[in-house]
Structure 1
Amino acid sequence: MPDMSGTKRTLLKSFIGSNIVALGAGTPYIYSYYAPKLLERCNIPISKSSSISFSLNIGSSLLAMFAGMIIDYNPAISCLVGGVTTFIAYGILHICHANALSNVYLISFALVLVGFGSISGFFAGVKVCTANFPRNRGTATAFPISLYALSGMVFSMICAKLFGDDMLGVFRFLQIACTIMILVGTFTLKIVTVSFEDEEPKDTENGDTENDNYNFNTIYQGGGQLESSTSVDQISDNERVIANYSNKHTRSKSDMIHTNTHPSAERSYDIFEDPVTAITTFTSNQEGSNNSIVSQRNSFSTESREHDIHNEANNITALRRDTISEGDEEETSFERYFASNILLKLQNNKVIQTIIDPKYLVFYAILAIQMGIGQMYIYSVGFLIQVQVNTPPISDYHLDMAKLQAFQISMFAIFSFCGRLTSGPTSDILVRKFKCQRLWNIFFASFLVLVASHFITYSYNVDEYESRKTDSIPSIKNISICTTIFGYAFGMIFGTFPSIIADTFGTDSFSTIWSICTTGGVFTVKFFTSILAHDLSSNSKENENLCKIGTSCYKHTFNTIFDICLVGITLTAMMIFGSYWENQKRLSNESADINETIQLQSDQ
């Protein structure tokens, strides 16, 4: 009997540690705080700024899958790696600023380490919360995800208050504070093995239980479990055929997640139902008959399976005997043996199985679209403000552009925090109370992005500015409103998607799978920022480096975003309704199978 009080203490310690790590790992978002002064001090031209900022994406996205592999091995070790790389990264930036080193590659390398150290700690915290709280994944992961988004604003406010323009003090503070906070995870993050009875409701009709972390190296044969420690080398050809055949006919928890089938089950036929969490119920007057039906079906399927297994094994043995000559038999056997080992390992590799799954590929596309839009906006909103401030008649008001840019970044961070914080509980309520899919959160957030992309291109007439000289500037206010919408939608998407991935593909190798899923944003953010840069450049006059025609400077960019966002919404809707029709078809097949079994029983 496990010590539940000790387990709860460990869960609480891991949860608190995950939040501390996430808060300390969110420093990539304060890049815009120190970047201008760093580039000025190191005499780096503004044309190189885009390449330097892109280094953050390389560390936090392209290298994220390597961080994910470490996290899946041990989250605590990942935090150790993250803490060390963060310490080195801010140490390099401190040296570059102190000595005015105009070395783009060295600064870019430091920012790659900042991104990698950040994601190593952040993903570790999300993984632990996802694995330790399977019944409330959305709520549990919402806290570290939202704190990660809020980290930029928190650290920028602290640094501005304590250090002001002293960038050496800023880098020293970030080097010490962020490193310590990420290293907290080394001593607190732990995936707790909680019994199925404690975390998930039991199926009282059959006492079968399944672990949340599936072992895909475990092979089942005729209802009996083969030891996963058995080497592939120890399996003969016939045994391998039997194991492969049996493995194909075994329903793991991953299969249950994809198919959601259960004999004699009554399910909701609601189109909004979440197929992952559909609840199976049995009526009391059918208990005896259903048990006998299931037993009979099991006996039929077992006999048929054993017959098919041995037939297949005998056929392959005969085929080998007829087609392989005696002189080449040894060489061919080695090749067949080597190929079989490789195929078995690939078949049992969870990451490979997942990334080639059509559902995963659609999720990858949806996240890539929304991630690219959100990151492009937070990186580029300063340029939108710059355009508006320098466009007549607003240019006559002599507005403080730096303050307006800082305000936009803070608004985005705050509402991204709110979106991440509310998305988790909202998705849990959708799933557990209303039996809806978490994807409805993504659909709603994508709709918000669509709305903001449309309204940010709205143009105001000159007389509207003249009537508001003492009031807020209409175009600036419009950008601020759209910033809040983009921020909230971006936060909601990132607050919901980890739970969707965990629900669909499980928590085994979750960090690797999730980190690969986020790599799509690297390409889309580059695509969107390139469009914006081209539009700003092409709409500028020949002798000017700045576009001064208001929303016309970036209208084409956000029209393109609007069109691509429509594609993302369409894909999301297809996933939602596709899951519904899949479930309906499955229920129809189950009903037909049950009726056929009842008929066989009555005939006997």
Structure 2
Amino acid sequence: MISPNATRTITLAFCFITALGAGTNYSQVFSAYGEQLAKKLELNHTQIGLIASCGNAGVYFTAPAWGHFIDRLPLRVPLLISSVLLFTGYFGIHSFYAGYVQSQMPVFWVALLSVIAGMGGSGSLLSALSATARSFNNNSRATASGIVLSGFGLSAFFYSFISHEAFPGSTDDFLVALAVGTSLSVLLGAFFINVVPPETEKSAAQHDEEGRPLFDEPSLDDDIMTSKSPIAIVKTVDFWLLFSIIALLAGTGLMWINNVGAVVQALFAYHHPHYDSVAVEQAQARQVSLLSLTNCGGRILIGLSSDFMFNRFKLDRAWWAAIISGVFLVSQIVAQSIQLPVHLGWATALIGLSYGSLFAIGPVLTLEIWGLHSFSSNWGLMSLAPALAGPVLNLLFGSIYDSHAPTDDDLQKYSVLEGIFNMPATSSTCLEGRKCYVSALHLTTLACVVALILSVYGALRRRPRTPIFMQDTPEDRSE
């Protein structure tokens, strides 16, 4: 018979595999094919930004419903549904890209398919995260969650690497790899993920016929004894404080992640008269890979660091929100100063690191503040923050970028040079370098300043031995 620790390890491994296939981190992976999709379907950056925003909306807006579903049913059910949604979404996008399906409204249909793919990613990731939260205690929960979330951060690099090695330069095959790989990863999780309650909780837990623990609340660790439902937490100051911090920072990260391909293209077009489309695609792929790796690293690093500092020095995890806000701010200042495409990696690495760290600490803070019983529902509700902020900043970026795109008169001039310098004479390519997008970075810099102020304020509000950010007492919370 397999021991609980061994079962817990196997569950953690398959939670990682499931997260690896959870939509392959829709925001990051979209940068690997977004520009090619725009050219194939003849879309401008406002339209392609809308498609990206719809994919993110599928991830985040459906999270509360997924959370409610996951808290009440065996994990196998949402995982099986997520597997089908992932295949449907990505294979549908592949069908439009390859020309198998055509429509007079390609933006509508591809946006809808992006929503479906995002829904699949949201359900599978929340399921894996819920299983991890329920299987590890407070001393190791952040580390375990960080490992699972690192799979989500690593996913774009993983699938991009396989695609570029197996099918170099073929966006068509890349989308097929996404459809098959993501759905298969989540399908494996449906059959091998099992919740194993920690020893401190296991003795007081009961199990239903599906093996899901029904925790007896008085026996839980102190950090989860005051569980609250989504209806209750929206009435607290803490919810809106953390919600605002995540919205401002996640929106900043999503804007760069979704549009880094356009940034690469703008800088190359401005600094490379002999424009090489292959070199541009390779540079875009490098940025996506760097985002994925640093995103993964941030999720692991924050989990290990927060657990170590909490166990060794009792450092409030609330302060990590302030640290992450500071790194975000630095990343935006660096991004504004870059004028050569070769230097983009510095900004991309900082944004990937801080974005990954944010989504590693966010679920842990949500769990510590409001408890384990409704964790999936509560984190699903908190996931609305990036769903609201991301599309706004993404569409602002697209509008600013398109406002600097070549006019019809410019295109006539460039068309003469296109045959000589291989100049990209298209309405979707801005040729003004950093001026194409720097105004958008000014807005996100301001957003990061506000987030830093809010996170420092939240950490300073902390009272000893009370839930993070809380002004009231545990007795007040238990009412």
TM-score range, shorter chain: 0.7 to 0.9
The structure, 1 or 2, with the larger RCO (C-alpha pairs under 8 Å, 6+ apart) is 2
Matched, 1:65 2:69: no
Q: 1 CA distance for matches of 2:434 and 2:375?
A: 42
Equivalent position of 1:527 in the other structure = 392
**Alpha-carbon deviation of 1:573?**
0.8
Aligned residue number for residue 81 of structure 1: 81
Equivalent residue number for residue 493 of structure 1 = 358
Determine the C-alpha separation between the residues in 2 that align with 1:194 and 1:36. Answer: 46
**SS across alignment from 2:302:** helix
Partner of 1:105: 108
SS across alignment from 1:190: coil
> Residue in 1 aligned with 2:135?
132
CA distance in 1, matches of 2:331, 2:32: 25
Q: 2:298 is matched with which residue?
A: 419
Cα deviations across residues 348-394 of structure 1 (Å, max 9, x unaligned)? 97221122221121111111111100110111122222232233xx2
Question: 1:170 & 1:541 partners in 2: Cα distance?
Answer: 30
Structure-2 separation of matches of 1:38 and 1:539: 21
Tell me the residue number matched to 2:120: 117
Of stretches 364-373 and 10-19 in structure 1, the one that deviates more from structure 2 is 10-19
Give the TM-score taking structure 1 as reference length.
0.65
In the alignment, is residue 177 of structure 1 matched against residue 181 of structure 2? yes
Pick closer, same or farther for the CA change 1:194–1:541 going to 2, 3 Å. closer
Structure 1 equivalent of residue 416 of structure 2: none
Count how many residue pairs are aligned between Structure 1 and Structure 2. 434
Residue of structure 2 in register with 1:551 after alignment: 434
1:228-280 CA-to-partner distances (Å, cap 9, x unmatched) read xxxxxxxxxxxxxxxxxxxxxxx9979x65999xxxxxxxxxxxxxxxxxxxx
- Shift of residue 142 of structure 1? 0.9
List per-residue Cα deviations over 1:517-550 (Å, max 9, x = no partner).
1111122122222333343344556544555444
> What amino acid does structure 1 have at the position aligned with 2:184?
I
Tell me the residue number matched to 2:6. Answer: 9
With over 3 angstroms needed to count, the CA separation of the structure-2 counterparts of 1:35 and 1:577, relative to structure 1, is: closer
* Cα distance between partner residues in 2 of 1:45 and 1:483: 23
Contact kept? 1:214, 1:508, Cα under 8 Å = no
Contact 1:76 1:190 in 2 (8 A): no
What SS does the corresponding residue of 1:579 show, helix, strand or coil? Answer: coil
- Aligned pairs for 1:147-186 within 5 A: 147-166=151-170, 169-186=173-190
Deviation, 1:146, is 0.8
Q: Shift of residue 92 of structure 1?
A: 2.6
Q: Which has the larger radius of gyration?
A: 1
* 1:77 maps to amino acid: V
Measured against aligned partners, the alpha-carbon deviations of 1:189-216 in whole angstroms (never above 9, x if no partner) come to 222234427799xxxxxxxxxx99565x
2:287 corresponds to which of 408, 414, 428 = 408
**Aligned mates of 2:337, 2:401 — CA distance in 1:** 17
The answer to which of 537-546 and 373-382 deviates more is: 537-546
TM-score normalised to structure 2 length: 0.81
> What is the Cα-based RMSD across aligned positions, in Å?
3.2
Partner of 2:334 in structure 1?
Answer: 455
Contact 1:142 1:424 in 2 (8 A): yes
Equivalent of 2:22 in 22, 25, 31: 25
Shift, 1:140, TM fit: 0.3
Identity over aligned residues, as a percent?
21
Between the aligned partners of 1:432 and 1:92, the Cα distance in structure 2 is 47
Cα 1:507–1:574 change in 2 (3 A) is: same
Cα contact 2:328–2:354 (8 A) shared by 1: yes
SS at match of 2:7: helix
Gaps of 5+ in 1: 201-210, 216-250, 261-347, 460-473, 584-588, 591-604
Runs of at least 5 residues in structure 2 that lack an aligned partner in the other structure: 205-212, 411-426, 467-471, 474-479
* Number of the residue aligned with 2:51: 52
Name the structure 2 match of 1:465: none
Match of 1:505 among 370, 377, 383: 370
What CA distance in whole angstroms lies between the structure 1 residues aligned with 2:331 and 2:44?
Answer: 33
1:425 CA drift (Å): 0.6
